[in-house]
Amino acid sequence: MGVLMSRRQTVERVQKVSLAVSAFKDGLREQPSTRRRAEAGTARQGTLEQEVQEGEEEASAGPSQPEESSASKAAWERLRDGRGVEPEEFDRANRFTPPAFIRPKRELHDDEPLDISLEQREQILNDEMCEICEVWTAESLFPCRICPRVYHDGCLRRMGYLQKDSAVEVTETAHTETGWSCYYCDNLNLLLTEEEMYSLMETLKNCKIIPGACLTLDDFLHYKHQVHKQQFERTMPEAQEEQAALQFNALDPDKKGHIEWQDFLSHESIQLLQKIRPQNALLRLLTPKERERARAAFLALDQDNDGFIGEGECRQARHTWFRKHQKEMQSCNVSISHVGPISEGSPASSRNSKSPEKILPATKQEETSIDWPGFLRENVAYILAARPNSAALHLQPLA
């Protein structure tokens, strides 16, 4: 999708620079002495003519010979266009061309309150045809657990979105309660508008973050310290540093000692959404499937059916939202990652006292009660952060 966008933007840049070069050359012809002085002046690494030539080569013949600067520039362009990181060794011969992706835009009414009914259930319908090839083949289609799109595994492979390590995951989880997120929903960065993406890119550039690179704990903490100092002009408190370290551990569930670039990018994207957009705007990002899972979770917690749950129960739901794998779902109290109502045999249908993460909620008279709208507002960021297929927790819930 971003390929078409970047090439079009390159052509537009070439056209604008070509006009500037033409005017520049005309001025030099009229002032030869000025031209001689310019040629005898300080050396410059590139000229306008070279920029035009490079742009024309990018627009017509694709990327030029690999260089460190051009590779870095291409990485930032992929990030801007929402394409993430494409391995250099990835062979796109005989592949489908990704469709052009256009980042969302904020609407005037986005910040207004949104009424999401608890009693009125929503009908969940998946698309009938593959999102890529637009062909219907019934049972061989893999549905997304977030949006209504469905896909063929072969089409996903030809698009380059289904590699060897993820093929098994898709086939095993797409038709289960765990579910699978398509490549649109799996990338939280695609929720950002162009303005928000520009803000994030400026922050990453100022902090010397290289797109596609993995981050160690020292890298992650150094980045967090820089961001905090740029925003507040003071050193980050020790308590926040400890919280950042906990977030790093949440992003590194396999204890590899580093976090993957895509997980770091998703974490920063959801963090930015929390800072910039009000909760009403975030609620509009929820899909019908996510709203249905939220209803099932709230109703499972509201056992006396009075429309309120305890604050402790709300916090517990926040932690269990990320249980996307069956082996993890067995140890949680509330399963809200699957599509559809909670079954009688699921962990949410009964309060299993043997659960290792069991938190006995206090009575509603002893703690603050939360209604359905408040439950949504408190959990919306965590619901969105649970979209990626990765086992990483992209937004570590506070204790």
262 in the same domain as 284 = no
Q: Evaluate if residue 259 carries a pLDDT over 90.
A: yes
Please count the structural domains in the chain.
3
Distances (CA, A) of 364 to 287, 299, 314, 354, 371: 30, 16, 12, 23, 12
280-334 pLDDT tens trace: 999 999 999 999 999 999 999 998 889 999 988 888 887 777 665 444 433 333 3
State phi, psi for 78 to the nearest 5 degrees.
-65, -40
Query: Does residue 159 form part of some domain?
Result: yes
376 in the same domain as 308 = yes
302 in the same domain as 263 = no
Question: Do 162 and 156 form a contact (C-beta atoms < 8 A)?
Answer: yes
268 in the same domain as 226 = yes
DSSP string of 144-204, one letter each residue: -SSSS-EEEHHHHHHHT---HHHHHHHHHHTTSSS----TTTT-GGGGS-HHHHHHHHHHH
Q: Evaluate if residue 116 carries a pLDDT over 80.
A: yes
CATH number for the domain including 228? 1.10.238
Query: Does residue 39 form part of some domain?
Result: no
Question: Do 279 and 380 form a contact (C-beta atoms < 8 A)?
Answer: yes
Query: Does residue 60 form part of some domain?
Result: no
Q: What is the overall mean pLDDT for the chain?
A: 75
Range of the domain at 235: 190-275
pLDDT number for residue 98: 60
Q: Provide the 8-state DSSP code for 285.
A: T
Q: Cβ contacts of residue 317 below 8 Å, gap of 6+? A: 297, 298, 301, 334, 336, 375, 379
